[in-house]
Amino acid sequence: MAQTATASKSVKFIITRQDSPESKSYTEEFEVPYRPGMNVISALMEIQRNPKNAQGQTTAPVCWDSNCLEEVCGACSMVINGKPRQACAALIDKLEQPIRIQPMKTFPVVRDLIIDRSRMFTALKRVKAWIPIDGTYDLGPGPRMAESKRQWAYELSKCMTCGVCLEACPNVNEKTDFIGPAAISQVRLFNAHPTGEMNKEERLEALMQDGGIEGCGNSQNCVRACPKGIPLTTSIAEMNKETTKHMFKRWLSV
């Protein structure tokens, strides 16, 4: 009985699609039967089960990327009603209809809503976002981290490389080579670690390369968009301070 009551309600979608990385994008409308508590991913699953557009024509099911479905993996980032966010955490009940879904075009589109976030992982490699602990012998335990520091550093460690901050940033685009806020914040995280700190100059110098921290123009959209609430602008300002100090230290020590 409950099913017959809800079957009459439907949810409208306007989805931006693209068949291949080189082809042109187009929009297609869908109508999906409403179920209580549904989110954008479950609606996309419904389209997958019954791939018919709003006109009733059979079409290729919409492709998307997702993994954890609990907003910790960062895979299902897409632009929903103009805002980049995680589709798994986008509840239909809280969205204005028709729901417009687009891929995050700051990244290369692979197909439909699937994007290639490789540039973010390249950026993490560039800034050496790891802690080197491997040696030819046991290096023993590292220095301990103060609890007061661990608490704020933990917030930075929540970054899931989802790419939402890059999509929100007006300075991450084809005209610049700016690596974006996420990697800058990771430098702060790894430079805060007592062992990671031993290599902090390497990471700061990576931020002072072309496309590094200079690309930030303080629009501060990143901190508003971040689904994990990471204080990205505080991280950027802190790294501005550290790179400035490093610059003067380098000049004055030769």
Partner 1 sequence: MKGYYSRKLHSLLGVIPLGGFLISHMISNYKAFEGGKEGFMGAVHFLNSMPLVFFLELFLIWLPLLYHGVYGLYIAYQANNNVGNFNYERNIRFMIQRITGVITFVFVIWHMYDTRFQIMIGKITHDELGAVMHGIVSNPVLFALYVVGVLSATFHFANGLWAFLVSWGITVGPRAQRISTYICMGLFVVMSVMFILAMTGFRDAEFQAANAVIDIAKTVLS
- Minimum CB–partner distance for residue 131 and partner 1 (Å): 24
Binding partner 1 by CB under 8 A: which of 43, 159, 213, 232? Answer: 213
201 touching partner 1, by CB under 8 A: no
* Among the listed residues 125, 173, 249, 250, the single contact to partner 1 using CB under 8 A: 173
Q: Which position among 212, 226, 228, 250 is part of the footprint of partner 1 (CB under 8 A)?
A: 212
Q: Which of 12, 52, 125, 224 binds partner 1 (CB under 8 A)?
A: 224
Stretch that binds partner 1, among 5-13, 15-23, 120-128, 238-246 (CB under 8 A): 238-246
Q: Which amino acid, one-letter code, is at 19?
A: D
Candidates 9, 149, 245, 250; binder of partner 1 (CB under 8 A) is 245
Give buried/exposed letters for 190-209 (b at 16+ CB in 10 A, else e): bbbbeebbebbeebbbbbbe
Residue 226 binds to partner 1 (criterion: CB under 8 A) = no
Binding site for partner 1 (CB under 8 A): 82-83, 168, 170-171, 173, 175-176, 208-221, 224-225, 231, 233-234, 236-245, 247
